[in-house]
Amino acid sequence: MTIKIEGLQKSYRKFQALKNINLHMETGLFGLLGPNGAGKSTLMKILSTILPFQEGIVTIYDFDLVKEGDKVRRLLGYLPQHFNVPPQFTGREFLHYVASMKGVTDQQERNEQVEKLLEEVNLVQHANKKIKGYSGGMKRRLGIAQALIGNPKLIILDEPTAGLDPSERIRFRNLIEKLSKDHSIILSTHIISDIESSCEKVAVINHGEVLFEGSTEDLADMAKKVVWELAAPFSEYDKVEKEYVIISSRKEKDRVVFRIISKEKPSGEVTPVQPSIEDGYMAIINGVMS
Ligand code: ADP
Ligand code: MG
């Protein structure tokens, strides 16, 4: 088992950020979904051994996170949500610096690792440029490269796609897909398309609680029988918005077709719809399940 979390509780002073978290993760790609403030970063900081917690048992590859933190640290790479790099460094210098910090002291070995990672994240042609000139996407890719130094078995990525443009996001998804073949990866996001298709397992958390754990198909199924398309005139927009959780809407001639979630079949011109992963997520977050 890659990660085993049992009865985990974390408070910041009086505020309970994680309430009795139980999660299990096997190998492969694990997606942690939840809105802002859900507790994703708190959980990832704990897994990275940089944040203490009050209650519970967490093991990573059977090592106890608290008692054997140094052993755990050697097995993992971490990309924090707010990843700051010294702007005067070049990308290559920065990776050498991180490698030294991680104990890769042999010059040749360090060279090989750094060059391989630059290639892997597609930064070779920018490696000698100062980081202050990097785009958001380039910085993220450098962040991923530094998390991969030392070939960690487990990679923890906290909102790795935040601030990326659509093409960077696609490139990133492909990189993750490739890496997940020989690493275990846990990544947090609030963007459903980041996890669609590629994640073996997903957990949804909100207000410090695990609301769902399962496959992406199971997640979509959480909205079974509660997703509808409802056609209504424009004049009823506010009324529909008040009454239902709207997933999306599109204009159709002189009316609007809403995709909504509702436990009961709405009145009016309604058709039931097959739920998507996004519907499942929205149903869970809004507590509207069949
Ligand atoms: P997420 O990453 O899902 O957006 P976080 O783990 O960052 O959520 O935060 C979870 C909750 O804990 C939020 O309500 C946040 O305000 C609170 N929180 C996070 N860090 C601290 C801190 N250092 N001190 C006090 N409260 C915090
Ligand atoms: Mg966060």
What is the CATH number for 141?
3.40.50.300
pTM beyond 0.85: yes
pLDDT computed for residue 244 by the predictor:
94
Question: Is 288 inside a domain boundary?
Answer: no
Residue to mutate (ligand 1; options 12, 18, 32; most atoms within 8 A of CB): 12
Does residue 128 surpass a pLDDT of 70? yes
Does residue 208 surpass a pLDDT of 90? yes
My answer on whether 13 and 105 are in the same domain is: yes
Question: Is 11 inside a domain boundary?
Answer: yes
pLDDT computed for residue 84 by the predictor:
84
pLDDT band, very low/low/confident/very high, at 69 (cuts 50, 70, 90): very high
pLDDT computed for residue 222 by the predictor:
96
My answer on whether 91 and 197 are in the same domain is: yes
pLDDT tens for 168-177 read 888 888 888 8
pLDDT computed for residue 211 by the predictor:
97
- Compute the average pLDDT of residues 193-220: 91
Q: Are strands 255-261 and 269-272 parallel, antiparallel or unpaired?
A: unpaired
Alpha-carbon distance of 128 to 148, in angstroms, equals 19
My answer on whether 60 and 192 are in the same domain is: yes
Question: Is 50 inside a domain boundary?
Answer: yes
Question: Is 24 inside a domain boundary?
Answer: yes
Instruction: Give yes or no for a contact between 187 and 29, defined as CB atoms under 8 angstroms apart.
Output: yes
- Is 152's C-beta closer than 6 angstroms to any atom of ligand 1? no
Question: Is 198 inside a domain boundary?
Answer: yes
Rg for the chain, CA atoms, rounded: 22
**Cα 6 to the chain's mean position, in Å?**
20
- Compute the mean pLDDT over every residue in the chain, rounded to the nearest whole number: 93
My answer on whether 248 and 174 are in the same domain is: no
Question: Is 200 inside a domain boundary?
Answer: yes
pLDDT tens for 256-275 read 999 999 999 999 999 999 99
My answer on whether 164 and 263 are in the same domain is: no
Does residue 214 surpass a pLDDT of 70? yes
Q: How far is the CA of 40 from the centre of ligand 1 (A)?
A: 8
Does residue 193 surpass a pLDDT of 90? no
Atom of ligand 1 nearest to the CA of 208: 10
Question: Is 281 inside a domain boundary?
Answer: no
My answer on whether 28 and 172 are in the same domain is: yes
My answer on whether 258 and 149 are in the same domain is: no
Higher-confidence residue: 166 or 133? Answer: 133
Helices (H) and strands (E) in the chain, counts: 10, 14
My answer on whether 126 and 22 are in the same domain is: yes
Q: How far is the CA of 158 from the centre of ligand 2 (A)?
A: 7
Does residue 197 surpass a pLDDT of 70? no
My answer on whether 237 and 167 are in the same domain is: no
- Compute the average pLDDT of residues 11-23: 97
My answer on whether 108 and 244 are in the same domain is: no
My answer on whether 253 and 185 are in the same domain is: no
Q: How far is CA 11 from CA 17, 20, 39, 69, in A?
A: 5, 11, 11, 20
My answer on whether 135 and 191 are in the same domain is: yes
pLDDT band, very low/low/confident/very high, at 10 (cuts 50, 70, 90): very high
Higher-confidence residue: 141 or 58? Answer: 58
pLDDT tens for 75-85 read 999 999 998 88
Does residue 89 surpass a pLDDT of 80? yes
Q: Residue 110: which domain range?
A: 3-215
Alpha-carbon distance of 145 to 122, in angstroms, equals 10
Q: How far is the CA of 3 from the centre of ligand 1 (A)?
A: 22
Nearest CA to ligand 1 atom 10: 39
CA proximity to 260, closest of 189, 235, 286: 286
Does residue 4 surpass a pLDDT of 90? yes
Does residue 57 surpass a pLDDT of 90? yes
Q: Give me the helices (H) in 76-222, please.
A: 91-101, 107-120, 136-148, 166-179, 192-195, 216-221
How many domains does the chain contain in total?
Answer: 2
Question: Is 40 inside a domain boundary?
Answer: yes
164, 189, 215 - which closes a domain: 215
pLDDT band, very low/low/confident/very high, at 54 (cuts 50, 70, 90): very high
- Is 15's C-beta closer than 6 angstroms to any atom of ligand 1? yes
